[in-house]
Amino acid sequence: MGNDFVLVLVVVTALAFDFTNGFNDAGNAMATSIATRALPPRVAVSVAGVLNLIGAFLSLSVAATIASGLVQTNLVTLTVVFAGLTGGILWNLTTWFLGIPSSSSHALIGGVIGSTLAAAGAHGVKWHGLVQKVIIPAVLSPIIALGIAAIGTYLVYRVTRGVNRQARTRGFRIGQIGSASMVSLAHGTNDAQKTMGIITLALISNHTLASGAKAPFWVVLSCALAIALGTCAGGWRVIRTLGKGLIEIDAPQGMAAESSSAAVILLSSHFGYSLSTTHVATGSILGSGVGKAGAEVRWSVAGRMATAWVLTLPAAGTVGALAYFATHGIGGSAGVLVMFVLVGAGSAAFYWRSRKNAVSAKNVNDAWGGAIVPVAPKTKTKTPVSV
Amino acid sequence: MNNWINLSALWRIVGIGLLAGAGLPAIFAVGVRALGSGSDAATDDVAGEQVIGATRTGIAIAGLCFAVVLAASGYGIYLIVRAG
């Protein structure tokens, strides 16, 4: 039963990925609410965490669909799944460290495709499915979200012209909390299920589950908890870029942006496109800057993000492929164990390095000076709040 | 509809997305405006225009607007639970 040992490592790695998914994406729902001070930072990520948890339980119909449409599942082994997850985790940590909101879904898909390519060659990947289900929606969704948010923002400012500014802010802060909560809920439903699908795929490839089986309850529960905990952890670096880096955001813009995000995400998943929450949220926030007269949009920051988005699939894929070669090269359970320890060490290194110039709940809203980490006065004596 | 893009789904996402994603905030905005705030409007520098103020009609309009937004959100959650 050597495989069961590997299976446990794969499941733990998948849950670790789910955790990075949570803190990478906490900003998608809550960055605007934090930036406009509709909610205090800690409260915001806690609310998002709880809603992600609920969202993960709301709908359980997706099993291994994310992988089955993109790779030949009969070629997928535990090692392939493991190497793919490795690619996803390392790319998520890299973009988080740089404060770039990038798609966790793409990181996962890229990693799995890379490791499948390494294991089985080009015929293991369903290229048509990749373009149709991943790449085209990824290009279109931020543009659609941007347009809807821009129109929404324009309408909102048009309608409330002349309304007392304080009253308007108060009203829209409440609306913003509502719409951000919808995004959190949708995120839990979409993204937690992707990891559930991956773990189910691993269980199927290990013949623990029959082919076509649904995710067992412990998988659902552990994935829901992992993504919720990850969201609660904050991911302040990404939140800061989304909330402060792209535009100076006001409550009405925040509400328009989150409404657009929620609508696009829910509609797309309704029509069977599982697209990136991150791309949609970023597009919406940009749109809320475009739609407000006189607002400054920092297109250079947006451009940097777009570059990271283009790189996500190939970069995570490359890591996934390398991880497969390394794991396969060492061979057997030992290979997986060695890589598992290496990824753990790598993650710890990222975390340790981030503490040196931490972004936390305390400085997440500091004025944007062109850098992810605010130029801090020397506060070495204060222990930074955990990221 | 072709092999690469499901155009009918795309247009429906854009269309319904506009109604829900831009229309609902606009309705919410009508509610906020209807509530207005007659009392401290003078302190604001952009309060040149007439606002409805918290009259009974204003409150009724606002209540209707917020109810529409809430109902639409509830329908959204219902769709997640049902479809997923």
B83, burial (CB in 10 Å: exposed 0-12, middle 13-18, buried 19+)? middle
| CA–CA distance, A12 with B41 (Å, rounded to integer) | 57
Complete DSSP assignment for A193-239: HHHHHHHHHHHHHTTSS-TTPPPPHHHHHHHHHHHHHHHHH--HHHH
A209-225 b/e with 16+ CB inside 10 Å = b? Answer: beeeeebeeebbebbbb
Query: Is the per-residue pLDDT at A373 higher than 80?
Result: no
Reported as a single tens digit per residue, the pLDDT across A125-150 is 888 888 888 888 889 999 999 999 99
Q: Which of B13, B18, B44 to mutate to test the interface with A (most CBs of A within 10 A)?
A: B13
| pLDDT (mean) for A54-83 | 76
B33 vs A160, A186, A193: nearest CB: A160
The pLDDT score that the predictor gives to residue B37 is 53
* pTM reported for the whole predicted model: 0.86
The pLDDT of B10-33, averaged and rounded, is 91
Q: Which of B4, B45, B79 sits opposite A136 (nearest CB)?
A: B4
- Please state, as a whole number, how many other Cβ atoms lie within 10 Å of the Cβ of residue A195: 31
Residue A101 has pLDDT above 50, yes or no: yes
pLDDT at residue A219 above 50? yes
Summarised one tens digit per residue, pLDDT across range A20-29 is 999 888 888 8
The letter for the amino acid at A167 is A
A304-325 mean pLDDT: 92
ipTM, interface predicted TM-score of the complex:
0.81
pLDDT(A106) > 70:
yes
Domain range list for chain A: 2-132+178-247+314-356
Does the pLDDT value for residue A374 go beyond 90?
no
Residue A208 has pLDDT above 60, yes or no: yes
Q: For chain A, what is the mean pLDDT?
A: 86
| Strand-pair partners of A318 | none
**Residue A181 reports pLDDT greater than 80:** yes
pLDDT for position A275? 79
Q: Within an 8 Å CB–CB cutoff, is residue B44 touching chain A?
A: yes
To the nearest 10°, report the CA torsion of A108, A264, A244, A240: -30
Q: Indicate if the pLDDT at residue A154 is higher than 90.
A: yes
- Per-residue pLDDT reduced to its tens digit, A52-68: 999 888 876 554 456 66
Per-residue pLDDT, A261: 94
Q: Which of A58, A132, A134, A148 to mutate to test the interface with B (most CBs of B within 10 A)?
A: A148
